[in-house]
C-alpha cells in the first residue's frame, strides 16, 4: 500500500496511525464535514484475497457436528454466495471499483446499526488519493477488554458480560453475526462514570469473507477461515456453516481470556486450536474462573462447548440468565435513580418472547410450508387439494407487538440461513417502485451478480438504485419477485400497509401472483386497523389468498410466562401479574412501560436472591395516582372528543362494538374515527376484532381512574342521559338493551329499575344472549335482596330459577352461580316448591362437579336429594334426567355396571311425550358410553342408528354428550369409520357457528379416530390443528394432550425420535402444571408404547404393569383395556404370551394394524 495522504475523500484529515492489522491500517482522523474525530480504517486492495494473519484454510475435523440450527438452513448464505459487481454501465470496472461495489451494500447496512455497546459505523467509500477502500467509525477512547478486567471485581465482570451479550442479541436479531470477537475487538471506555464496553470491527471479517474474488462454493481458494485461533468456534474452523452460536462461543473465549489472562485454548494455528477444543469439559470453568463467580464460570463453560447444539442458543438467553442468577450485578445497578432507570431499560428490552409465542409458532409453520415444501410434502399430500395460503396479514393497533412478532420471525429465519427481506409503505419518496424499491435491492444483494435473475432484470435493478420514476420500467416487478423466489425462496414483510394504500394494490397483485404460480414466497403484511384497508383485506381472505390475524392484549397467563422468563420462580409474580393486568389491561406497550416504571421507582426490586414486589409501599400508592395523572394528561392532549368516548366506555364498563359506540356518541363519523384511532395509538383504549366486528374498551385501570376523577360528581346524571339516548335510537339490539338497564340500575337507589331488569333479562334469554341475560339477572337478584324484603321472595325465587334454566354456565365465576343455587334451595323450601328444589339440587351437582372438582360421594348425595324432590313434585322427565346424571358421574369413576343401571332407567324418557330433543340426545350419548364400555357393542350400534335423526335436530353446542358417546363406540368397537363422518360434520358446524374455542375437543377425537383407523397422516393434521387452536385460546392441558398424541402418531409414522421428544415434553409439562389426571394417564400410556418402539422394552413393560395395577385398583376400565392391549402387543413382539388381554369380545384387529385403545374426550 502506498503512503497514506494527509486528507482522504476531501473531508478526513489524518492525524496519526493507531495500528495495523491483516485487513489494513487504522488512523485517527478529523471529519471536517461533521466536525468530529473518527477512526478511519483503510482496507488493502488485496484484503479479500490475502489478509495476513486473519485467516487460514478450513480444517476437516473428525467431528460431524452441524451448526445448522433451523429448518431454513438449506438456504444459507454460505451455500449460495456469488460474485457481485457494480450495476453501472461500465463494462470492465477496475479492481478497486469491484471491491467498492462488493462492500458497499454490506457497509450501508452497518451504518444503520445503533447500539450503546457497538462502535457506530459512519461512512464507506473508495479513496481517489490511493488505490484502496476506507470506512470510518466511532473513535472509542478506551482500553482493551483484557487490560480492563485484570483483577476487577465480580460485579464489574458481570456488568461487562451483560453489555457484550446485549450487543450480540441486537445484531443477531437482525440476522447478522460478528464473526471475529476477541479481546482486541472489545474496548472499554468511561461513560458517565460507568464502564461501557464496545464491540469494534463488527462485520469486517464477514464483509471480507464475502469479497469479490473467487466466491463459488466449489473453489478451493475459498476454503478459508477468517478469525483468530483460540477464539473462533470449532465449526468455523472445520469450514461448516456458522451462525449466532459461533459468536456465542467467541464471546465466551473472549471473556475467559480477559478474566484469566490467557486463552482457553492456547494455540499457534487453527489446527492446534481445534485439537484442544475437542477436549473441553464445561465443568473445568468453575475451577479456572473463580474470580468471576460460579454463575459466570458455569455459563462460560457451557458457551465453550464444541457442539453448538449444547451451547446457549441465543445471546438473549445469556442476558436473561445473568439478570436472573447474578444478584450482585443487579444490586449494584439499583444504587441510585439513574442506575435503576438504566437497569429497567435493559430488563424490559430483554423480556422473553413468551407473549406472542403461539403466533410465532404458526408463522414458522407457514414459513416451513411455503419455503421448504419438501419438508411439508407428507402434510401436503394429506391435505389433498387444499390450497396452501402464502400470505399472512397482521392487523393490530400501535403497541400491540406487530413489529416484535415479525422481528422474531426474521430472527428465526435468518439465524437458520433463510432469506428475509422487508420494507415499509410509509415513505415520502415518489418513486416508480415505491416500497418495493428496497426489496429489489435487498434481493439483489442476496442473490449476487452471477444470478441469472439479476442479469435478466438489470433495468429494474438500476431503477431501484437510481430511485427512478419511470413507471414503464417498473412493469416487470412482479415477474422479478417471482423469479427471485424460484432461485432462492424468501419471506417478504411489508409494514405500515395502511400508510400506503396505493402500495396495497401491488401487495394484492403479488399475493395473487404467488398463489397462481405456487411460488416459494411467504408474503407478510402488517398494519394498524384502517377503514379503507378493511374491505381489501376481507377480499383477500374471502378469495383464500391471505390469512388475516388480529393480535389481542396479553392474558394473565402470558404475563406470567413473560415475567417468569426473566424473574425466575418467585412468589412475587402472582401479585405482580394481577397489578399489571389492572394497570395496563394487557396492552403490550403499556405492560412494558409500567414494568419499567415499577423497577425505576423501586417498587419491584431485588432483595438478596429473590424479587420483592412492594405493593403497599408509598411509591406503589403514588404509582396509581401517577399513572392516572399520566392517562389524564394524554386524554387532555387528545381533546374533548377523546374525553367523550372515554366517559361512555367508563360507564359501559364492558367492551362494546365500535358501530354501537359511534351511535352513542354525538361525534360525526369522521371525527369519531379519528378520535378512536388516536386513543388506540396512545394505548388508552383496546380495539379487539372478532369476525367482522371490532370491540372497544378502556385499556387499563389508570384510564378508568382518570375518567372517574374528572367526572366524579356527575356520573349518575350522565348514566340516565345515556340511557335516554339509547331509547331515542329506537334500535332493537341486545347490547343496547343490556347497557340501558345496567345504566338505570347503577343510577337507581331502590326498586325503581326492577321491572326494567326483569323485562330485559327475559328478552335477552329469548334471543339467545345467555351471558347478558345472566348478568342482568344478577343485578335483579341483588336489587331484590337489598331493597325487596319478604314481599320480594316469590320474585326472587323466579329470578333464580330463570338463572338456573336459562343462564347455567353463563356467569364468569362458577362459584357465584353455585351460591345462587344454594340460596335457591332455601327459597324453594320456604315456598314448598319441590320441583324448584329438585332443579337447584341438580344444577348444584352439575356446576360444582364441572368447576370445583367435588368428590363423587358429594355429587351423588346432591343428586339423591334432587331425585327425592323430583318424586315429591311428580315430575317424571326430571327424575330421568337425574338418573342420567348419576350414570355420568359413575362412568367418570369407572363404575360401569352401576352406571349402566341408571342409564338404562334414563332411557325410559323415549316413552314420554313431553321430553325434548336436547334431553333425549344427552341421555342417548351417556347410554352409548355405558354400552360401549361394558362390551354391549351390538346394542350400542342399534342405539346409534336410532339416535342419529334426534341428534341432527339438536344444535351442535348441545350435542357434545352424543358426540362423545359415538366416539367411545367407534374406538372401543374397533369401527372408527362409524363416527368419523358425524365428527367431521360437527367440526364443520362448529366452524360455521364461529365458535373456534369449541373445536379442539372434536378435532382431538377426530385425530383419535383416524389413529384407530390407521390413517396416521390425517390424524397428525387433526392433532396439529387442535394444538394451534388450544394454544391460541390458552388451553394448556389441551395443548399438552394433543402434542402427546401427535408425538405418538409421528412415532407410528416412523419418526420415532421426533415423536418421543414431543411426547416426553408434553408429559413433563402436564406433570409440572399439575394437570388433569385423566390426560396425564393417557400420556403415560402413550409414552410407554413409544418407549417399546425405541427398544426400551423393559421400561415399557414395567411402567405398563404398574399402571395396569393402578387402573384395576381405581376401576379405570378403559385404561385397563388400553394397558392390557399394549402389554399384549409387547409380549407378542418378544415371543411370550402371559399377559391378560383386553376383554371386549367384539373387538378384533390384526396386531400389525392395532393402535392404542384411547379414551375419547367426553
d(CA 602, CA 604): 5
Write down the CATH number for the domain with range 385-544: 3.40.50
Burial class of residue 377, CB neighbours in 10 A (0-12, 13-18, 19+): exposed
Q: What does the chain come to in residues?
A: 1162
- 916-930 tens-digit pLDDT: 898 899 999 999 988
pLDDT digits (tens, 9 = 90+) for 996-1054: 767 888 898 899 899 888 899 999 999 988 888 877 666 777 888 889 999 999 999 99
Sign of CA dihedral 511, 516, 517, 520: positive
Q: Higher model confidence: residue 342 or residue 305? A: 305
Which range has the top average pLDDT, 246-250, 784-788, 1127-1131?
Answer: 784-788
Domain 143-349, architecture per CATH:
Orthogonal Bundle (1.10)
The residue ranges of every structural domain in the chain are 7-73+81-138, 143-349, 385-544, 555-625, 626-713+721-729
* pLDDT value for 1138: 40
Express each pLDDT in 774-826 by its tens digit. 888 999 999 998 998 888 899 999 999 888 887 776 676 677 888 899 999 99
| Rg of the chain (C-alpha set) | 34
Cell of 240: 461448516
Range with the lowest mean pLDDT among 228-232, 330-334, 1048-1052? 330-334
Tell me the mean pLDDT in the region 610-630. Answer: 76
- List binding-site positions: 41
Residue in 87, 114, 115, 89 with CA at minimum distance from that of residue 101: 87
950 confidence band (pLDDT: 50, 70, 90): very high
The pLDDT assigned to 1034 comes to: 63
Left, alpha or beta for 896 (phi > 0: left; psi -120 to 50: alpha)?
alpha
- Please state the residue numbers annotated as binding site for ATP: 41
Work out the end-to-end distance of the chain between its first and last CA atoms, rounded to an integer number of angstroms.
Answer: 80
CA distances from 319 to 184, 187, 256, 324, 868 (A): 22, 20, 17, 9, 65
- The CATH code belonging to domain 626-713+721-729 is 1.10.10.10
In this prediction, what percent of the chain has a pLDDT beyond 70? 74
Q: Which of 82-86, 488-492, 599-603 has the highest mean pLDDT?
A: 488-492
Q: Does residue 51 or residue 498 have the better pLDDT?
A: 498
Calculate the CA dihedral of residues 915, 919, 924, 925 and round it to 10 degrees: 170
Q: Classify the phi-psi angles of 935: left when phi > 0, otherwise alpha if psi is within -120 to 50, otherwise beta.
A: left
Give strand pairing partners of 224. 57
Of residues 832 and 431, more confidently modeled: 832
pLDDT at 385: 41
Matching residue, cell 481517489: 128
CATH of segment(s) 7-73+81-138? 3.30.200.20
Amino acid at each position: 500500500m502506498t503512503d497514506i495522504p494527509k486528507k482522504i475523500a476531501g473531508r478526513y484529515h489524518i492525524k496519526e496511525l493507531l495500528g495495523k492489522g491483516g485487513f489494513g491500517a487504522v488512523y485517527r482522523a478529523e471529519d471536517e464535514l461533521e466536525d468530529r474525530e473518527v477512526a478511519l480504517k483503510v482496507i488493502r486492495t488485496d484484503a479479500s484475497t490475502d489478509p495476513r494473519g486473519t485467516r487460514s484454510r478450513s480444517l476437516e475435523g473428525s467431528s460431524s457436528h452441524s451448526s445448522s440450527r433451523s429448518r431454513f438452513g438449506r438456504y444459507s448464505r454460505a451455500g449460495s454466495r456469488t460474485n457481485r459487481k457494480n450495476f453501472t454501465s461500465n463494462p470492465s470496472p477496475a479492481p478497486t471499483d469491484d471491491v467498492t461495489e462488493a462492500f458497499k451494500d454490506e457497509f450501508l447496512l452497518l451504518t444503520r446499526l445503533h447500539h450503546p455497546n457497538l462502535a457506530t459505523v459512519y461512512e464507506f467509500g473508495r479513496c481517489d488519493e490511493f488505490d484502496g477502500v476506507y470506512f470510518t467509525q466511532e473513535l472509542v477512547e478506551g482500553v482493551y477488554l483484557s487490560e480492563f478486567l485484570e483483577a476487577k471485581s465480580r460485579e464489574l465482570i458481570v456488568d461487562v458480560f451483560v453489555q457484550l451479550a446485549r450487543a450480540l442479541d441486537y445484531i443477531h436479531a437482525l440476522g447478522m453475526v460478528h464473526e471475529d470477537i476477541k479481546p482486541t475487538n472489545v474496548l472499554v471506555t468511561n461513560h458517565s462514570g460507568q464502564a461501557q464496553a464496545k464491540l469494534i470491527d463488527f462485520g469486517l471479517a464477514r464483509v471480507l469473507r464475502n469479497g469479490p474474488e473467487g466466491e463459488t462454493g466449489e473453489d478451493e481458494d475459498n476454503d478459508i477461515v477468517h478469525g483468530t485461533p483460540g477464539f473462533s468456534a470449532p465449526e468455523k474452523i472445520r469450514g461448516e456453516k456458522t451462525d449466532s452460536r459461533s459468536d456465542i462461543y467467541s464471546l465466551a473465549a473472549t471473556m475467559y481470556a480477559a478474566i484469566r489472562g490467557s486463552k482457553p485454548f492456547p494455540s499457534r494455528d487453527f489446527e492446534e486450536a481445534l485439537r484442544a477444543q475437542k477436549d473441553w469439559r464445561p465443568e473445568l470453568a468453575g475451577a479456572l474462573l473463580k474470580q468471576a463467580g460460579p454463575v459466570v464460570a458455569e455459563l462460560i463453560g457451557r458457551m465453550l462447548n464444541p457442539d453448538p447444539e449444547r451451547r446457549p442458543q441465543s445471546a438473549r438467553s445469556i442476558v436473561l440468565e445473568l439478570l436472573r442468577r447474578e444478584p450482585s450485578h443487579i444490586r449494584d445497578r439499583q444504587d441510585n435513580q439513574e442506575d435503576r432507570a438504566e437497569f429497567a431499560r435493559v430488563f424490559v428490552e430483554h423480556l422473553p418472547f413468551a407473549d406472542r409465542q403461539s403466533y410465532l409458532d404458526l408463522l414458522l409453520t407457514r414459513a416451513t410450508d411455503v419455503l421448504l415444501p419438501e419438508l411439508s410434502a407428507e402434510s401436503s399430500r394429506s391435505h389433498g387439494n387444499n390450497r396452501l395460503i402464502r400470505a399472512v396479514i397482521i392487523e393490530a393497533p400501535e403497541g400491540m407487538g406487530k413489529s416484535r412478532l415479525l422481528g422474531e420471525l426474521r430472527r428465526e429465519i435468518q439465524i437458520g440461513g433463510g432469506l428475509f427481506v422487508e420494507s415499509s409503505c410509509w415513505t415520502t419518496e415518489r418513486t416508480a417502485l415505491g416500497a418495493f424499491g428496497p426489496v429489489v435491492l435487498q434481493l439483489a444483494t442476496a442473490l449476487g451478480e452471477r444470478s441469472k435473475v439479476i442479469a435478466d432484470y438489470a433495468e429494474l435493478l438500476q431503477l431501484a438504485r437510481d430511485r427512478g420514476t419511470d413507471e414503464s420500467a417498473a412493469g416487470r416487478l412482479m415477474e422479478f419477485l417471482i423469479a427471485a423466489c424460484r432461485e432462492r425462496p424468501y419471506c417478504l414483510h411489508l409494514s405500515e400497509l395502511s400508510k400506503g394504500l396505493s402500495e396495497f394494490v401491488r401487495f394484492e397483485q403479488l399475493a395473487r401472483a404467488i398463489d397462481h404460480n405456487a411460488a416459494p414466497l411467504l408474503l407478510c403484511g402488517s398494519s394498524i386497523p384502517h377503514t379503507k384497508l378493511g374491505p381489501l383485506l376481507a377480499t383477500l381472505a374471502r378469495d383464500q389468498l391471505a390469512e388475516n390475524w388480529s393480535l389481542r392484549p396479553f392474558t394473565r397467563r402470558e404475563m406470567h410466562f413473560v415475567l417468569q422468563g426473566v424473574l425466575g420462580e418467585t412468589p412475587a409474580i402472582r401479585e405482580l401479574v394481577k397489578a399489571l393486568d389492572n394497570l395496563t389491561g394487557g396492552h403490550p406497550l403499556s405492560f412494558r412501560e409500567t414494568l419499567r416504571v415499577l423497577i425505576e421507582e423501586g417498587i419491584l426490586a431485588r432483595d438478596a436472591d429473590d424479587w420483592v414486589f412492594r405493593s403497599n409501599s408509598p411509591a406503589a400508592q403514588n404509582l396509581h395516582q401517577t399513572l392516572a395523572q399520566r392517562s389524564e394528561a394524554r386524554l387532555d392532549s387528545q381533546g374533548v372528543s377523546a374525553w367523550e368516548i372515554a366517559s361512555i366506555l367508563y360507564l359501559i364498563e364492558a367492551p362494546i362494538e365500535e358501530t354501537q359506540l359511534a351511535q352513542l356518541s354525538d361525534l360525526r363519523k369522521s371525527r369519531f374515527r379519528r378520535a378512536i384511532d388516536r386513543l388506540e395509538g396512545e394505548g388508552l383504549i383496546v380495539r379487539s376484532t372478532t369476525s367482522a366486528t371490532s370491540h372497544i374498551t378502556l385499556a387499563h385501570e389508570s384510564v378508568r381512574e382518570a375518567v372517574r376523577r374528572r367526572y366524579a360528581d356527575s356520573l349518575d346524571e350522565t348514566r340516565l342521559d345515556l340511557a335516554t339516548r339509547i331509547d331515542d335510537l329506537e334500535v332493537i339490539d341486545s347490547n343496547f338493551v343490556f347497557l340501558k338497564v345496567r345504566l338505570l340500575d347503577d343510577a337507581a337507589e331502590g326498586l325503581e329499575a326492577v321491572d326494567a331488569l326483569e323485562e330485559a333479562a327475559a328478552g335477552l334469554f329469548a334471543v339467545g344472549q345467555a351471558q347478558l341475560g345472566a348478568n342482568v339477572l344478577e343485578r335483579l337478584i341483588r336489587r331484590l335482596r337489598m331493597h325487596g324484603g319478604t314481599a320480594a321472595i316469590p320474585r326472587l325465587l323466579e329470578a333464580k330459577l330463570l338463572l338456573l334454566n336459562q343462564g347455567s354456565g353463563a356467569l364468569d365465576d362458577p362459584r357465584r352461580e353455585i351460591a345462587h343455587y344454594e340460596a335457591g334451595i332455601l327459597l324453594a323450601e320456604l315456598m314448598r316448591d319441590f320441583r324448584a328444589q329438585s332443579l337447584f339440587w341438580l344444577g348444584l351437582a352439575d356446576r360444582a362437579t364441572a368447576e370445583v372438582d367435588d368428590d363423587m360421594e358429594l355429587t351423588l348425595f346432591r343428586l339423591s336429594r334432587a331425585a327425592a324432590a323430583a318424586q315429591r313434585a311428580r315430575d317424571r322427565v326430571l327424575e330421568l334426567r337425574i338418573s342420567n346424571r348419576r350414570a355420568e358421574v359413575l362412568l367418570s369413576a369407572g363404575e360401569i355396571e352401576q352406571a349402566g343401571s341408571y342409564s338404562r332407567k334414563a332411557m325410559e324418557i323415549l316413552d314420554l311425550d313431553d321430553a325434548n330433543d336436547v334431553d333425549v340426545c344427552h341421555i342417548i350419548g351417556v347410554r352409548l358410553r355405558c354400552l360401549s364400555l361394558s362390551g354391549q357393542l351390538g346394542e350400542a350400534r342399534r342405539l346409534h342408528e336410532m339416535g342419529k335423526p334426534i341428534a341432527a335436530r339438536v344444535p351442535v353446542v348441545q350435542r357434545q354428550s352424543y358426540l362423545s358417546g359415538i366416539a367411545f363406540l367407534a374406538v372401543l368397537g374397533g369401527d372408527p369409520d362409524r363416527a368419523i363422518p358425524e365428527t367431521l360434520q360437527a367440526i364443520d358446524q362448529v366452524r360455521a357457528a364461529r365458535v373456534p374455542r369449541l373445536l379442539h375437543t372434536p378435532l382431538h377425537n377426530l385425530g383419535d379416530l383416524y389413529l384407530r383407523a390407521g390413517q396416521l397422516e390425517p390424524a397428525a393434521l387433526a392433532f396439529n390443528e387442535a394444538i394451534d387452536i388450544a394454544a391460541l385460546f390458552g388451553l394448556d392441558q389441551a395443548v399438552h394432550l394433543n402434542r402427546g398424541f401427535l408425538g405418538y402418531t409421528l412415532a407410528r409414522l416412523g419418526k420415532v425420535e421426533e415423536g418421543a421428544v414431543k411426547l416426553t415434553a408434553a408429559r413433563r409439562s402436564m406433570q409440572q402444571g399439575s394437570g388433569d389426571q385423566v390426560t396425564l394417564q393417557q400420556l403415560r400410556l402413550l409414552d410407554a408404547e413409544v418407549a417399546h418402539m425405541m427398544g426400551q422394552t423393559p421400561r415399557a413393560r414395567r411402567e405398563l404393569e404398574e399402571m395396569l395395577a393402578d387402573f384395576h385398583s381405581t376401576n379405570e376400565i378403559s385404561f385397563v383395556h388400553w394397558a392390557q392391549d399394549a402389554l399384549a402387543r409387547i409380549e407378542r413382539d418378544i415371543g411370550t404370551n402371559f399377559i391378560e388381554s383386553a376383554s371386549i369380545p367384539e373387538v378384533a384387529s390384526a396386531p400389525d394394524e392395532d393402535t392404542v385403545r384411547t379414551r375419547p374426550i367426553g
